[in-house]
A and B are shown apart, each in its own frame.
Chain A
Amino acid sequence: MMTETIIYAAEKIITMNPSQPTASHVAVRGDRILAVGSLEELETWGPYTLDTRFADKTLMPGLVEGHAHTMEGMLWRFVYCGFFDRADPDGRIWEGVKTIEAIKARLCEAEAKLTDPDAPLTGWSLDPIYMNNTRVTREDLDQVSTTRPIGILHASGHILNVNSKALELAGLLKTGINNSGMPLGVDGLPTGELFGPETMMPVSIHVGFNQSFIDCDEQGLRDFAKLCVRKGVTTITDLAAGLEPEDVTWMLKVTGEDSYPARIVPLKFFMGATAKDTVDKVVALKERATDRLRLGRIKAVADGSIQGFSARMRWPGYHNGAPNGLWYTAPEQLAELYRLALAADIQVHTHTNGDEATEMVLDTFGPALKEVPSPDHRFTLQHCQLADAAQFRRMDKLGMCVNLFANHHFYWGDEHYRLTVGPERAQRMNACRTALDQGVPMAIHSDAPVTPLGPFFTAWCAVNRLTASGRTQGEHEKIAVSEALFAITIGAAYTLHMDDEIGSIEVGKKADFAVLEDDPTEIGGANLKEVRVWGTVQGGRLFAASDL
């Protein structure tokens, strides 16, 4: 029996296909697009059912987020302590908390609901830089509870604030600690501010965080997909995951559920295993891939983060004189990974933040590519926040892609200007204009949960380059609305080698649509983040945000 054809009428369909940029109707058969055009054109394909529910809506290709972490789905079990309003998987908008007092009040409210007196109270997304860099101490959190452990993870993920009870449980409420990541108060005891993963970890397990910080669980993966529907996202990466065989088993189960609304692209983390072992494992994982769980890619990490001062910087280094950051992977290890992955047709995405890390990866990848010639490899630099024009030119010559952290510019741009890299380099951070001008295939990303998932917000960031304080930072690096919309659809799909399947609305591609109440091409660049999302169509299946 032939699968039924459904023709959706829309107010406007933005196809991202230049030969037919807009249309009024799209015909879907099963999980694929049969045809796009006018109703008269589509009728030529034979019997159909006309569905007019989107007659007053705008359809775009399902949005593609090329750099996120599914563990955000788990974080919403904890108390949201962010400065900005943010929607949870159930659509509830959590108002941003603007003062330490407001954070305490919210924590007290959550504390009152806990029945187990020993259960930890866990918060996330704190960012005191918006509160004049007020320091949060264990005394602040002790006002919420002195008997249960409390921990609040900062938005950056690099700092954890805990109360006295948490320090006590970890055996650290004592004098004589000599650790640069653990500042001490005048009483000689830790202040409760923990900097860096190695310092956070001994305490974090007492305040409700699991050890790895990167791995998700079943419910978390379901909740994460709800966030995707609310933001019009139909394909999203998990960058990076442990992907042990038992993890993959439950990920296959969850993503295989009939109602699972997103396509997850998890990249295996290259850490704690040899390059050969990692590539071998990912080659095997590729065999287990399904339409909604796209296994078979690797994520490597070259350096740390700029605001954590662990990114590797070229001369003259950090603006405030902080020492250079840390390498997380040696060039020799990356070189081996690149050679083996190129030979096995496994794509590698590499995190670089500082410009020295980017330079090192370019220096390493070039010879690997010469050794294992590999047209169309699309190896991608992730974040790549400080790359300059010369580095983008090299990326172009090496056939690399880039995924720039546009959201970062809004949330931390002021901090970078003032403190980390100084005015000149802050202006050229996340240089979307330069990347496109040099011909480097480009995506833009949220790095959720570091910043909120929402490709229209990300596009708005790249178009306007406003910082949180309202300054335009780097006029030259602005891109047009059309370029930003390309980046969050086919641009991101390209970096995943999936532009043949997703990213545009045209015949043969997946029936993945972002269903919108507003037309992003008409709303104006300044309002791009205001585009309202009805929900998605994913693989021909309808997901209304209001029904989640």
Chain B
Amino acid sequence: MTDLLPVTVIGGYLGSGKTTMVNHLLRHANGLRLAVLVNEFGELPIDADLIEAEDDDIISIAGGCVCCSFGSDLVGALMEMAKLDPQPDHLLVESSGVAIPSAIVGSLSLLEGFRTDGIVVVADAETVRRSARDKYMSDTVLRQITDANIIILNKTDLVEAPDLEDTERWIKEQNTSVRIIKAEHSAVAPEAVLDSFLGHVAASDRHQHTQNLEVITLTLSAPVDVEDLAQTLANDQNGLVRAKGFATSTSGQKNLIQVVGNRWTITEAPDHMADGIVGLGFKGAISGLDRFQ
């Protein structure tokens, strides 16, 4: 289970800020080795100062990260990624602006060696509602929004507060359980986007992005109904953006629980792992977890 490469699919329409967010994550990788698959090279997808070396197929980035383009052959590129040695800690797939993120997850599910961490969709706060009414792109944009486990509502600096509230409300109407994280210039807390960052990013670095987010730990002193726990963590009423950790079921089985926004998975885990959940949530809004303590 530990050797499965976690993959986050980053979706969102053209111009929403996906590439900027990828650069932001690379810049704050903090020792995590990220591998990034982008739909296209060309106008440089990676900020020049981050690049250590590049050839036609692969860009090497400071800190052991890499970036490749997949063009029309995503599956082939994923299979190449699986062969990377050393294996990256986390893979980001930045999809094309018209891609349906769940279709990419569908492909991933057919390949050995990967684990889907979740779908993060970047939405342009200024234009997303307009795009969702577009004569041609409406259903594509709506599909991206409904596929999302977490939405990064980007460019919030470009809209007035009431507008922003309307947009948030509108997104919730499309995808009721999704988590919305607001950002300017795609600057989002890395641990909100990637599972692998949770518990990894140094406190000093975390501080600059996470004014409105906080990390909590849930100590589990007794066996629990793991499905109930996972669903509770994924319930948008309880204020968490993501969570992961181990729990022992009432039948004595050790489980790994992973929660990304409204998505949760439970997988069997080795017995020696210590019970406990670490979660990231909206500051002051985390609730409903006491009964598991």
Contact residues of A with B, CB < 8 Å? 170-172, 177-182, 197-199, 201-202, 205, 211-212, 214, 269, 271-274, 276-278, 312, 324, 326-333, 356, 359-360, 363
Contacts and interface: CB of A to CB of B under 8 A. Distances in A.
Given A199-B107, A277-B41, A327-B140, A272 B69 contact: yes
The residue among B15, B104, B136 with the most chain A CB atoms within 10 A of its own CB is: B136
Contacts of A273: 40-42, 69, 71
Contacts, number: 95
Nearest to B111: A202
Contact of B42 (A171, A274, A332, A356): A274
B140 A179 contact: no
B127 to A, nearest CB: 11
Interface stretch (B3-11, B73-81, B151-159, B262-270): B73-81
A198 B103 contact: yes
B77 to A, nearest CB: 9
> Looking at chain B's contact residues, is the secondary structure mostly helix, strand, loop, or mixed?
loop
B110 interface: yes
A199 B105 CA distance: 11
28 contacts: A179-B109, A179-B110, A182-B110, A199-B110, A201-B73, A202-B75, A202-B110, A212-B73, A269-B72, A272-B70, A272-B71, A273-B69, A274-B40, A274-B42, A274-B43, A277-B41, A278-B42, A312-B136, A326-B100, A327-B98, A327-B137, A330-B13, A330-B14, A330-B98, A331-B136, A331-B137, A332-B97, A359-B136
Contacts of A199: 106-107, 110
B39 interface: yes
Contacts of A274: 40-43
A269 B75 CA distance: 18
Contact of A212 (B72, B103, B107, B139): B72
B160 interface: no
A330 B97 contact: yes
Given A198-B107, A327-B137, A327-B140, 10 more contacts: A170-B110, A199-B107, A202-B110, A272-B40, A273-B71, A274-B41, A274-B42, A278-B42, A326-B100, A330-B98
A356 to B, nearest CB: 7
B103 A276 contact: no
Nearest to A331: B136
A177 B106 CA distance: 9
Nearest to B76: A211
B76 to A, nearest CB: 4
Contacts of B110: 170, 172, 177, 179, 182, 199, 202
A202 B96 CA distance: 20
B98 to A, nearest CB: 4
B75 to A, nearest CB: 4
B85 interface: no
B111 A324 contact: no
Contacts of B43: 274, 276-277
Given A198-B74, A211-B73, A274-B40, A329 B98 contact: yes
Interface residues on B, range: 20 to 34
B109 A178 contact: yes
Interface string B26-42: 00000000000001111
Contacts of A181: 106
A321 B273 CA distance: 50
Q: Which 3 A-B pairs have the closest CB atoms?
A: A272-B71, A274-B42, A277-B42
Nearest to B71: A272
Contacts of B75: 197-198, 201-202, 211
A284 to B, nearest CB: 14
A161 to B, nearest CB: 16
Contacts of B107: 198-199, 201-202
B136 A333 contact: no
A414 B13 CA distance: 37
Contacts of B69: 272-273
Nearest to A214: B72
B72 A327 contact: no
A98 to B, nearest CB: 33
Interface string B186-217: 00000000000000000000000000000000
A312 B107 CA distance: 22
B112 interface: yes
A177 B40 CA distance: 30
A333 B14 contact: yes
A331 B100 CA distance: 16
Contacts of A272: 39-41, 69-73
A277 B139 CA distance: 29
A459 B136 CA distance: 34
A198 B136 contact: no
A271 B40 CA distance: 8
Contacts of A202: 75, 79, 107, 110-111
Contacts of A211: 73, 75-76
A330 B106 contact: no
Nearest to A202: B110
A212 B77 CA distance: 11
Nearest to B136: A360
Contacts of B73: 201, 211-212, 272
A327 B96 CA distance: 10
A271 B97 contact: no
The residue among B15, B74, B75 with the most chain A CB atoms within 10 A of its own CB is: B75
Nearest to A275: B42
A394 to B, nearest CB: 15
Interface string B130-151: 0000011101100000000000
A18 to B, nearest CB: 42
A104 to B, nearest CB: 26
Contacts of B97: 330, 332-333
Contacts of A198: 74-75, 103-104, 106-107
B137 A201 contact: no
Given A201-B75, A202-B75, A332-B14, A276 B42 contact: yes
Contacts of B41: 272-274, 277
A327 B136 CA distance: 9
Nearest to A312: B136
Contacts of B71: 271-273
A356 B136 CA distance: 8
A328 B39 contact: no
Contacts of B39: 272
Contacts of A276: 42-43
Given A273-B71, A276-B42, A201 B76 contact: yes
A180 B106 contact: yes
